[in-house]
Amino acid sequence: MIKELVQAQQMFFASQQTKDVAFRKKYLKKLSEEITEQEDAICDALYADFKKPKFESMATETQFVLAELNHAIKKIGEWSEPIRVSSSLSNFPSQDWIQPEPYGKILIIAPWNYPFQLVIAPLIGALAAGNTAVLKPSELSPNTSKIIVEIIQKVFPQEYVAVVEGGVEVSTSLLAEKWDYIFFTGSTQVGKIVYKSAAEHLTPVTLELSGKNPCVVDETAKAPLAAKRIAWGKFINAGQTCIAPDYILVHASKKEALINELKKYITAFYGENLELSKDLARIATPKHYEGLKQKLEGESVLLGGSYNDKDQFFAPTLVDEPTLDSKLMEDEIFGPILPIISYENVSEIHDVVSRYEKPLAFYVFSQDKAFQQKLMNDYSFGGGTINDTVVHISNKQLPFGGVGASGIGGYHGKHSFDLFSHHKSIIKHATWFDVPLRYAPYGISDYIMRKIKYLF
Ligand code: NAD
């Protein structure tokens, strides 16, 4: 079935229909209309999967992709235009340009944590650029996967866009096929498997992976605002956000104030009894939930620390000074546990940050411009924010992605269009004149050679 689907998409792409900008626009508009119509049903599916609060579902999933869609629909004509560049003297007279062209068949594999957004946002870029697509949502968010199938089947013929549901086996079968581009979002571990499969066919990839994201709070930071913005970015989606701050490195002089403010805001956001809050998602998978329980074992809990097997509730939790060789500090936490580690000298920040691979995100809270700049310059990371968390994902002008172990490639807005386009270089050489110089027999004197070498 997968083979036939790939073949059907190959033929559809070869028919050249997707190269027509009006065709792309028509389908992006249909997708936008269908998502708008199904918005409540999508939010219900997200709630059924992990009790994602409706406001969060709209802000980070449906409205997020609708904004991407509307932007692409508006800009697609402009983006698709060939880009004229100046010609080189040696080719005089010529017209030179860069022509974006679609790669062909795209495979998009997505995780469970933002199960709607992370399927649809890359799809928008793939279609805007004129590709066909096969989508593989996560098997661990089955209700969202089901509604994605319904929407896609209603909007697209399957030779243009299709969904293939399933887990590792299905994913493996899909990866065995020859694609023109693979877009993968998920763990670094599985990213390596995807990269290897892609290498078999020399298929280009985007890998949106994970990392352990530091959040530095120095002695000059405004503790109340820092705490408010950290708590928001950490506990939205119950901490199951690839760019959530993973751990805090706070200057020792600011630690007490920051902890008090964090406690205050967590209570203000979610109430005294955290489990009763309607604004906290649950942990989406049993494996992940059990993993969080293990990570918390033996740690010094400052707030939270409770959980409930009944619906995989895990309270927003603050942990005091975990050791760097603890389970909690081993790798990405990806849940609502926030370790707080204090430092006295800047070199101690480096000792912690440099233990890990290049993170997906980096945050610094400080009023000291030189310090902000130093951290932004000294470390390599996917993207970051000064005096806030997570919000760099929301600007379509900024490419979103990782570096090193946290990923390859960046997308959103025009960056998505560019990512899913091959940029073809073309020269149109005039026929009314032909410089004879390049043809053999060369017979050029040293004197002439010296004169013309600047042409090359
Ligand atoms: P995962 O890597 O386990 O799974 C992602 C997808 O790959 C799923 O569709 C799954 O079915 C498939 N898959 C799993 N094992 C596979 C295998 N052996 N071979 C082929 N395919 C396989 O990730 P997850 O647990 O679903 O998602 C959480 C991870 O994703 C976290 O590490 C998080 O940081 C990362 N993430 C990154 C971003 C980003 O934009 N960089 C966004 C969200 C999540």
Which protein residue's CA is at the shortest distance from atom 32 of ligand 1? 187
Query: Residue 390: what residue type?
Result: V
Whole-angstrom Cα distance, residue 269 to residue 22? 46
Burial class (CB in 10 A: 0-12, 13-18, 19+), 454: exposed
* 3-class SS of residue 137: coil
Whole-angstrom Cα distance, residue 262 to residue 269? 10
Q: What is the pLDDT of residue 240?
A: 98
Q: What is the pLDDT of residue 311?
A: 95
4 within 8 A of 159, measured Cβ to Cβ: no
412 within 8 A of 398, measured Cβ to Cβ: yes
Q: What is the pLDDT of residue 90?
A: 84
**Residue ranges of the chain with per-residue pLDDT less than 70:** none
Give the DSSP H or E segment for 250. strand 247-251
Q: Choosing from 68, 177, 215, 242, which is the catalytic residue?
A: 242
Query: Residue 403: what residue type?
Result: V
Q: Match 């992976």 to its residue by tokens.
A: 209
HEC string of 44-112? HHHHHHHCCCHHHHHHHHHHHHHHHHHHHHHHHHHHHCCEEECCCHHHCCEEEEEEEEECCEEEEECCC
User: Ligand 1, closest atom to CA 407?
Assistant: 41
| Structure confidence by residue, pLDDT tens digits, 33-68 | 999 999 999 999 999 999 999 999 999 999 999 999
Q: List, in order of start, the domains of the chain with CATH numbers.
A: 2-209+406-423 (3.40.605.10), 214-401 (3.40.309.10)
Q: Is the CB–ligand 1 distance for residue 172 below 6 Å? A: yes
Q: What is the pLDDT of residue 448?
A: 84
Q: Is the CB–ligand 1 distance for residue 186 below 6 Å? A: yes
Q: Is the CB–ligand 1 distance for residue 68 below 6 Å? A: no
Q: Is the CB–ligand 1 distance for residue 107 below 6 Å? A: no
Q: Is the CB–ligand 1 distance for residue 109 below 6 Å? A: yes
**pTM of this structure:** 0.96
Q: What is the pLDDT of residue 443?
A: 80
Whole-angstrom Cα distance, residue 90 to residue 87? 9
Using the mean position of ligand 1's atoms as its centre, give its distance from the Cα of residue 94 in Å: 48
Report the chain's terminal Cα–Cα distance, integer Å.
53
Q: Which mutation among 50, 187, 292, 333 tests ligand 1's pocket best, with the greatest number of atoms within 8 A of CB? A: 187
